[in-house]
Structure 1
Amino acid sequence: MAAHQQGPVTIHPVKTKADKREFVELSYRLNRGDPAWVPPLRNEVYALLTPGKNPWYEHGKAQLFTARRDGRTVGRISAHIDTLALEQPAQQGMGPGTGNWGMLEAEDGEVARALLVTAEDWLRGQGMTRALGPLSISVWDEPGLLIEGFDDVPTIMMGHNSPLYRGWIEDAGYNPVKKLLNYGVRVDDGFPPLVNRIVAAGEKNERIRIRKVNKKRFDAEAKLIMGLLNDAWSDNWGFVPLSDTEIDFIGKKLKDIVFEDLIRVAELDGEPVAFMIVLPNINELLIDMDGSLWPFNWARLLWWLRKPKSVTLRVPLMGVAKKLQNSRMASTLAFMMIEFIRRDAVRDYGTVYGDIGWVLDDNQGMNAVAAAIEAKVNRVYQIYDQVLG
């Protein structure tokens, strides 16, 4: 690599299809030697970055950049602004003047620094006074930089990056703002007695009903769950509401990997008040596909989706209506949903481990639930910011 460090680093905005291909392909080249990196499907990456395919662009705008040295692409970054994030209260993490960057890949610290400076300049030019990142590209996609847990292969829809990036970002003047925790827990043997007692008491409570989703009514179920999500998470750090078109988009994206017995809605006196989404870990399949379904990977994927066996399941989203938060009922509903899904997962999917995340480091309710089921932090992500002078 030293031989390639002679020429200067030049930064180029992504303008053409060929530029975008360079941007996308770089991550496959730089991360190919990392045994814990799971190559995402290329069509998913292109959809994320393409206005008209990703409804985030209805309220956001982004500029992609690549870095070159000696005729080679050696880095990339995205700079972006979300108008819905700008409308949030500043004390909640986003707010007026806060722009974002993400999708960072770099061969070395010099490249990373040049890319960060370029992203900051672009944000400044758009009137932003603060840069917060990494977000790839929304807080709902892959937020944060992995800073602990590099040996663990991430579960579905979780990011992974080189351990070198942390030093490069902090050397560029960025300060830690928020940690996102991911918990792992063995689930095949069940949960501690206290949790089982809470679940048993809940099962006797006639006011409570825990139901599976109905995939035949999937669009309506997705709207119900995402509506609950917007309410449940609205006071969380970094919250940006999901628009109706984003809810539809997420529903379509997840439809093939949604299984009725892995998603629960909790009703109290007939009203839906909580939900839990669990996804089979498709990364167990994707890790050796190199981001492509061709020529034969599509058949493997379709076969797997018929009835996946998944050693690990991920809980990406869980929420309780704001009016019930911090109540005993909230924790009862949470434990009931977790236990009901656990039983089905172990019996029908061969599941041994659960992954829960991301959880904000100051989310007392979720961290208490994780402690009660004896889950342990296995990956930590960090979000940084810097004032743009």
Structure 2
Amino acid sequence: MSGHSDGQITIHPVKNKNDLREFVELAFRLNRGDPAWVPPLKGEVYGLLTPGKNPWFEHGKAQFFLARRDGRTIGRISAHIDALALAQPAEQGMGPGTGNWGLLEAEDEGAAQALLVAAEDWLRTQGMKRSLGPLSISIWDEPGLLIEGFDNRPTVMMGHNSPLYRGWVEGAGYQPVKQLLNYDVAIDDGFPPIVNRIVAAGEKNARIRIRKVDKRRFDAEAKLIMGLLNDAWSDNWGFVPLTDSEIAYVGKKLKDIVFEDLIRVAELDGEPVAFMIVLPNINQLLIDMDGSLLPFNWARLLWWLRKPQSHILRVPLMGVAKKLQNSRMASTLAFMMIEYIRRDAVRDYGTKRGDIGWVLDDNQGMNAVAEAIGAEVNRVYQIYDKLL
């Protein structure tokens, strides 16, 4: 990253299509030299940032900013407020008066600091008392700043940023408030004996049924799983409920990379009480696409999606109904879903490793499950806050 700090830095709110294009393109220009950065599909990025496309804007508002020096764009940031986050209890991390920032990219510290000041000023004008970030844009998209694990490429739907950003954010007065862990685990040889014993015991329990999702009933299955998610995660730090239109939107976005044998629902006495979603690592294709499906990348993608061979699979979401949490049944269901998906993944997708995240640093149940299967932390993301 090079930057000349002799010229004056000016901050500009994003006002039109050209500004927005600069906002999106800047990430490609600044990160192109980083071998671990995976260029997102530009269509997806525009979708995230556009009211009317991203249903988050039904309950949130955002202002995007560009930093320029001598007419050149050298940085970007978003400032945003989510009405559903403001309605959460303050002791859960969000709550009244808490606004957010995210999508930070900057050539140098001067640009980063100026952008953070602009985001904070905007939040203040909206009546916010605290700035929490980075979130791109909601807690469900890409939360946290990467602070450990820069040398391995992120898997599908995970963020990546320059190692310099941490010092710049902390230099602007931000304090760490929460860490999100990502785990890596070898899965081709199976799990430790204790896990296999728990799975075998669960298989003898007639009350338990672990089933695959049914893609023909995709919308109903997505609603069921996301409903479980809202319940399972409702006490978690940073939780903001997903709305019905967000659930439909996520479902539509994931539909093409959802495979029936990689998503399991656990039923207890016929009632769905837990789920696990696993996605093939589409990033292994995106790394060479430079953000575009044209001219031939869409054909490569469709061909790969017919029967993906994915060396790494990502587990972005897993949950157990609140009423069962911290029970032995919860861990039994978790281990059974993990093991069933592991077997299919190794056999049908050529998978050797699993990537599990994010897990809150204080989520004892999930961290215990990760430890039991021999997983190790390979990336750490940090969320910061600052009183305004």
Conserved? CA contact 1:113–1:172, under 8 Å:
yes
* Change in 2 beyond 3 A, CA 1:203/1:96: same
Give secondary structure in 2 for the equivalent of 1:76. strand
| 2:237 corresponds to | 237
SS of 2:377's equivalent? strand
Q: Which residue does the alignment assign to 2:375?
A: 375
User: Which residue does the alignment assign to 2:219?
Assistant: 219
Aligned to 2:140: 140
Name the TM-score, length of structure 2 as normaliser.
0.99
Partner residue of 1:171? 171
Shift of residue 62, structure 1, vs aligned partner: 0.1
3-state SS of paired residue (2:4) = helix
| Maintained 8 Å contact 1:4/1:70 | no
Structure 1 position 91, deviation (Å): 0.2
Q: SS state of the match for residue 240, structure 2?
A: coil
Equivalent residue pairs, number: 388
Partner of 2:356: 356
Mapped pair 1:257 → 2:260: no
Structure-1 residue corresponding to 2:50:
50
The structural deviation recorded for 1:206 is 0.4
Q: For 1:267-346, what aligned pairs fall within 5 Å after superposition? A: 267-346=267-346
Query: Contact 1:156–1:283 at 8 Å: present in 2 too?
Result: yes
Q: Is 2:100 the partner of 1:100?
A: yes
Whole-angstrom CA distance in 2 between matches of 1:208 and 1:294: 46
CA RMSD of superposed structures (Å): 0.7
Opposite residue 236 of structure 1, the aligned amino acid is N
1:349-386 per-position Cα deviation (integer Å, ceiling 9, x unaligned): 00000000000000000000000001000000000000
> Given that residues 266 and 275 in structure 2 are in contact (C-alpha distance below 8 angstroms), is that contact kept between their aligned partners in structure 1?
yes
Unaligned runs of 5+ residues in structure 2 are: none
Runs of 4+ in structure 1 deviating by more than 3 angstroms, as ranges, are 1-4
1:3 Cα shift? 7.1
Alpha-carbon distance, 1:2 to partner = 6.3
Matching residue's letter, 1:29: R
Q: What's the CA shift for 1:6? A: 1.8
Q: Which amino acid aligns with 2:9?
A: V
Give the TM-score normalised by the residue count of structure 1: 0.99
> Which residue of structure 2 lines up, in the alignment, with residue 67 of structure 1?
67
What SS class does the counterpart of residue 5 from structure 1 fall into? coil
Superposition map of 1:83-162 within 5 A: 83-162=83-162
Once the two structures are TM-superposed, the CA of residue 187 in structure 1 deviates from its matched residue by 0.2
Query: Secondary structure of 2:237's match?
Result: coil
Q: Distance in 2 between matches of 1:137 and 1:9?
A: 25
- What is the CA–CA distance in structure 1 between the aligned matches of 2:268 and 2:293, rounded to whole Å? 43
CA distance in 2, matches of 1:5, 1:39: 27
Contact 2:279/2:313, CA 8 A, preserved across alignment: yes
Question: Which residue identity does 1:147 align to in structure 2?
Answer: I
The change in CA–CA distance for 1:292 and 1:278 in structure 2 (over 3 A counts) is same
Distance in 2 of aligned mates of 1:339 and 1:303: 28
Structure 1: tracts of 5 or more residues without a match: none
